[in-house]
Amino acid sequence: MPRDHRPTKSIRVLLAEDQGMMRGALALLLGLEEDIEVVAQVATGDAIVARALETRPDVALLDIELPGRSGLDAAADLREECPDCRVLILTTFGRPGYLRRAMEAGAAGFLVKDGPVEDLAEAVRRVLRGETVIDPALAAAALSAGPNPLTARECDVLKASVDGATVSDIAGKLHLSESTVRNYLSSAIGKTGTRNRMEAVREARQQGWL
């Protein structure tokens, strides 16, 4: 239905959540709101943009940790492909780094999943009105934590370090020399205040930098 001819009281929502039970529960609860209609549900990050282009939601409600592209990556994609769609991040993990990355990706809101559904429905309405909605405790934590100290390339190398990848494996995957990979790893370990790259990965994930 063309955007200009939709019922004025119906807020069209796309829901991205990889856990089927959670996705179904959220869709059911939001659907009980008289002014909200869940028009699309997806389980992977790779499916978000295609479904958004197909259904033209007003608000995309995205989890962060999804198979394929993350919700944060998808938020940036939607900003380019569906600029009229407002993005609201809903996640289990209230990590300061995630909030900063969400805002940089163009998200209009960031909430954690342990809040009441009434707050979520109201957040959907508020972001559609052009407001920015952020969990207050998380906002305070993000301010105290400061910015991500890792460069984009250091983050790439840490991500590639998961599952026991060797320096040679990482170098081949990222098209870097092994000495360059070692330099990035050493820098990342120093910035995270850890003893080795696996500890650096854990710390960076805990902070929401990866």
User: What's the pLDDT at 99?
Assistant: 80
User: What's the pLDDT at 192?
Assistant: 81
Q: Which band of pLDDT confidence, cut at 50, 70 and 90, is reported for residue 9? A: low
Q: Examine residue 2 and state whether it is found in any structural domain, yes or no.
A: no
Domain of residue 178: give its range: 152-207
CATH number, domain at 134?
3.40.50.2300
Residues 140 and 165 in one domain: no
Q: Examine residue 103 and state whether it is found in any structural domain, yes or no.
A: yes
- Helix, strand or coil for residue 153? helix
CA dihedral 200, 18, 73, 134 (to 10 degrees): -90
Domain total in the chain = 2
Distance, in Å, from the CA atom of 11 to the CA atom of 25, rounded to the nearest integer, reads 18
Q: Mark 160-197 as b/e (b = at least 16 C-beta within 10 Å).
A: bbeeebebeebbeebebeeebbbebbebbbebbebeeb
Q: What is the mean pLDDT of residues 167-192?
A: 88
What is the rounded average pLDDT for all residues in the chain? 85
Considering only 51-55, 62-66, 67-71, 160-164, which range has the smallest mean pLDDT? 160-164
Distance, in Å, from the CA atom of 38 to the CA atom of 61, rounded to the nearest integer, reads 10
Distance, in Å, from the CA atom of 99 to the CA atom of 138, rounded to the nearest integer, reads 8
Residues 69 and 160 in one domain: no
199 or 3, higher pLDDT: 199
* Residue whose structure tokens are 């929502």: 13
Residues 166 and 62 in one domain: no
The structure's pTM equals: 0.67
